[in-house]
Structure formats: structure tokens, C-alpha cells
A and B are shown apart, each in its own frame.
Chain A
Amino acid sequence: MIKTENLTKKFDDNLAVDRLTLEIGEGEVFGFLGPNGAGKTTTVRMLTSLIAPTVGTATVMGYDIIQDDQNIRRNVGILTETPGLYDRLSAWRNMTIFANLYEVEDVDGQAGKYLRMLGLWERRNDAVGTFSKGMKQKLAIARALLHEPQILFLDEPTSGLDPEAAKLVRDFVEELSGQGRTIFICTHNLDEADRLCDRIAVFNTRLRVVDTPAGLRKRLYGRQVVFHLADEAAPYLAQVASLPFINSAEAIDNKLLLALDNPEKENPGLIRALVAANANIQFVGELRHSLEDIYLQLVNEDEQ
């Protein structure tokens, strides 16, 4: 659905996007993570044919972003970083204006469908300026969906929203993903990316890494198992570290942190070894690094 090759954007001497090459499949929810000024919005603007790349090519739904800009704009939906609504006009008027601009045939039907779906129907005749931030964001999402795009670009969809509104938006994104749409999300919210995205790219002017959330964890930390013991863990460290399937071992207070390739297969043997050594095991679990750890490690590497 989206394919880029060496996509590069320079503003005078400032390199905003450097040789971005990636491929996003149909129905995929793709997270695009990066710090402020990393070039995420510039990438979205190039992929939606709003600005032209300096070098490189990209196709969206098979359309070239330079040659077929009108077709791309006709077929993708975009939620910009700020909702950009007409505050003096009603929600209904905002929707019908964009439905007409997107050449939607059933303007009233589509506007009504998405206003209802996002819980804004009752407030359709109110000026958008009277809406809360969350309501405006929902209206902007509804606007992006009016022409039923197969690809949706969401730039910081939950930024600045309260937890309830953010959850509503996340649930809606999940619902859209369930409909088979391809969704490209730029976000700072790592937990959100972890929960919503099939694959995640960490981007800071250039692409640092692309993988599934689980793949990223594995790639950076391997798989780790933590044993909570009733007493100090240090005395058991040497014994477990000598086991052939243990990649690394660490004792912190009453916890043993063990890296191994296949916990499902190797945990029973590990438990037997610890029990044989008279360790009193309280709990065993897989240590799950947050996406934040991974993200910070990659971004810090860039800074260094």
C-alpha cells in the first residue's frame, strides 16, 4: 500500500528526512515514532502529496506521490497535527464542506454516519469553537474518513487529549484497523504505539529500526525471565549462569534476571536446577521491556 525508496527531503541546508526506504502492507497499522523535529510530519506530508521530496520516490496505493498527487489526495485520509477546523462553523457544516471537496456522492449520509459513529451527532449544529479539544479531535478524524479512504495518516491522534478521550480515539483506530484499512500513525505515545501497531518504525531523520513491538524487544534485549526468590538471589547466580542455555544472568536483591532464547522450552529445567539448589521460588515471569526503553535507547544512540 505504501512504498518508499530513498525518500529524502531537504529544506535549504536542513536535512529533514534522509533516504527513507520502507514498505507498508494492506491493513497494517504502522507506528512512526520519533522525537520532535525528527521529520515525521514532513514524511506524512510527502506521502500525502502535500510537499514534494527532494530525492527519492514513493507510491501510495500504487500512485506516484509526484505524478498522481490528485489521485493520492482522493484516496487517503489525513488527520493533521492540529485539527484545523473552522471554529465559527457548525460540525455539520465542517463535515459537508469537506465531503464536497472529497467528491463524496452521499454528502449528508457520510457526514451523518461519522458524526454518529464518533458521538458528535447531538452537537452537529453547534459551532466547533465551543467544542472541547477531544471533540475537535474526533471531528477531525470523522472528517478524514468522509471519503472512506483505504489509507489513513494520523499525526499525533491523541496528543493533548484527556485519558478518556484518548481511549475513545484509540478504540476507534482499532475499529478502523478491524475494517482492513491501512493506518500510518505518528505518535509520541509509546504505550499507544505498542498497543495499536502491528509494526513500529523508530525514526530520527533517518530510519533507525522497523519491526513488530515484540521483535523490537527481542532485537534489543533478547528474552528475559525473572525469578523472585524468598531470600537473597546472589548465592544462586553462579549455578544458573553455568547452565548452557543461559545467555546472561544478573542478581538484584531477591531477583534473578536471566536471558535465554527459548523460555518456554528451557524454564522447566531452570526451575528444577534452582529447586535442587534449595532456592525458594516465589514467582516466575517473563520480563517485558517497555517500548519506552527501546525508544530511548535508540534515540540516545543517535544523540551520542
Chain B
Amino acid sequence: MNKVKTIISKEWAEVFKNRIVLFTVAFLPIVFLALPIITLAAMGSFEDEMSVSSGEMEAFVGDLCQGLNDMACTEVYMLNLYTLLFMLLPVIVPVTIAAYSIVGEKTSHSLEPLLATPITTTELLVGKMIAACVPAIAATWTAFAIYAGVMWFMVSEEVFKLAMAPMWLVAVFIVAPLMSLMAVSAAVLISSRVSDPRAAEQLSAFVILPIILLLIGQSMGLILIDARMILLLGVLVLVLDVILVTMSVKLFQREIILTQWK
């Protein structure tokens, strides 16, 4: 456990001195936070036209609005979309950290002395995974807490209750960390097979595709994300986590990494 802690503190000390990583961790939450605020502020100028129900929104989003007028219904719909962004954050941020974490060690030739210590592969990878996940999850939860606080002031109580429905809290506080772990283990797996941090980062970015598909599906009215879908997603990601973590430990071949990476 002590070695895992050492790896985590080393990773944080090293990675957060890397400007690219720091930018990703700090910049994306700010952008994802600014988007809903700007959108809601802009929607305020259409308030008069949308203050009565025309039935159009209700037809588009089904029983999402539960008798709200078009304005409030649109707000709920938009906020649901933006909450999905908070599931994207814990996937994008740790991928950058994890990709630099392993391939970066190799390119700076620090991996060999590290592997020459009595650290096990599991300790090394668990340390690196935690080091990548925790800042991403912390950034997500902090941004989400600020988002919730701002929404409290910007929207009506009815809209707020629907936007912060328990299923979204489960999504952000349970499913998002699981997705973060999935992204990191995929990044670790890919990093131990490629020799360029950018290639590792780009390949690992495929992990965000399911979330992007959900975003597109909901924004086009093709699907409506509900509690069942979130739970299903959670279970699926949990299974993938177990598979990917096991695979990343098993496929981390010290010999191949030391002798075949150039």
C-alpha cells in the first residue's frame, strides 16, 4: 500500500507540472460549467415567447416535462444534456494523465529504474490508475457542485428538481467514477502497447464514444435517457472496468515494454 501511495504522490507531483495535463484538468471543467450558464442566460431573452405550452416540446421529450410550460421544459431538457457533459469530464481528463503517465515514463527513460525496484505490476498500475482517476473525479464533482449551485439561482424549483433528479446524481456520483476507471484502464492498456503519448491519448479517446452517442441520441430526440438506462450503463461500465483492469495488469509485459519500445 505504501508503494501505491508513493506512486500516486509521484504521479501528482510530476503530472501537474506538465502544462498540457494541467490545462486539460483545469480548462475542460470551466468550459463545461460555462456552457449551461451561457445557454440559460441566452434562453432568458425568449422567455415571453416560451412561457406558455404549445405542446411541441412535450411531443419531443415525452413525459420528461410532466406538465411544465415550454420554457421550463426546454430548460430541463437542456440541463439534462449538460449533465451528460459531466459524465464526459471524468473520461477525457484521466485519459490525458494516464497516457502521459506510462508512455511519458518510457520516453524519459524513467521506467527502467522504476521497474528495477521491488514494486509489483499491480502496485504500479493501481497507483497510476488512482493518480489519474482521482483528479478527474474531483474536478467533475467540484464542477458539478458549482453547476448545481448556479442552477439553483438560475432556474425554478420545479426545473431544478427535475434537472437534479436522483438518476442524474447516480450518474455523476457513481457511474461517472466507474467510467473514469474504464477510461484510465483503457489508456493504460493502450499506453503499454504504443510508444507515443499522443498516440496513446488519441486511441484512448475512443472510450468517450458511448457518451458522445448518448449525447447525440438525446439531443436528436432518438433516445430519452432515463433511470433504467443510467443503471444499465452503470452495470455495463462496471463489467468493462473489471475486464479492462484485469487485462491491463496481465498485458503489462515488463520485458516487451523495456525491449521493444524505442
Give CA–CA (A82, B6) in the complex, Å: 23
State whether the Cβ of B63 lies closer than 8 Å to any Cβ in chain A. Answer: no
B113 at the interface (CB under 8 A from A): yes
Choice from A78, A82, A100, A144 contacting B3 with Cβ under 8 Å: A100
Whether A252 sits at the interface, judged by CB under 8 Å, is no
Residues in B neighbouring A101, C-beta threshold 8 A: 3, 6, 114, 117-119
- Check A140 against B113 for contact (C-beta < 8 Å): yes
Instruction: Return the chain A residue nearest B10 by Cβ.
Output: A97
Q: For B9, what are the chain A residues with a Cβ–Cβ distance below 8 Å?
A: 97
- State the CA gap A70–B254 with chains docked (Å): 14
Give bound CA distance, A98 to B108, whole Å.
16
Q: Which residues of B contact A73 (CB under 8 A)?
A: 116-118
Q: Are A89 and B108 in contact (CB under 8 A)?
A: no
Task: State which of A45-53, A204-212, A217-225 sits at the interface with chain B.
Answer: A45-53
Please state if A80 and B113 are interface contacts (CB–CB under 8 Å): yes
- Check: B194 CB closer than 8 A to any chain A CB: no
Q: Residue on B with the closest CB to A80?
A: B112
Point out the residues of chain B lying under 8 angstroms from A71, CB to CB.
118
Interface segment, one of B13-21, B48-56, B155-163, B166-174: B13-21
**Interface SS of chain B: helix, strand, loop or mixed?**
helix
Could you count the A-B residue pairs with CB atoms below 8 Å apart for me: how many are there? 76
Chain A 47-89, CB-CB to B under 8 Å as 1, else 0, gives: 0101110000000000000000011011000101011111111
**Quick check: A84 and B258 within 8 Å, CB to CB?**
no
Give the docked Cα–Cα distance between A45 and B108 (Å).
18
For residue B254, which residues in chain A have a CB less than 8 angstroms away from its CB?
A: 50-51
Bound-state CA distance A86–B255 (Å) is 22
A123 is an interface residue with CB less than 8 A from chain B: no
Listed A/B pairs (25) with beta-carbon separation below 8 Å: A11-B259, A45-B258, A50-B112, A50-B116, A50-B254, A50-B255, A70-B120, A71-B118, A74-B118, A83-B109, A84-B114, A85-B110, A86-B108, A87-B108, A88-B14, A88-B18, A89-B14, A89-B17, A97-B6, A100-B2, A100-B6, A101-B117, A101-B119, A102-B118, A103-B2
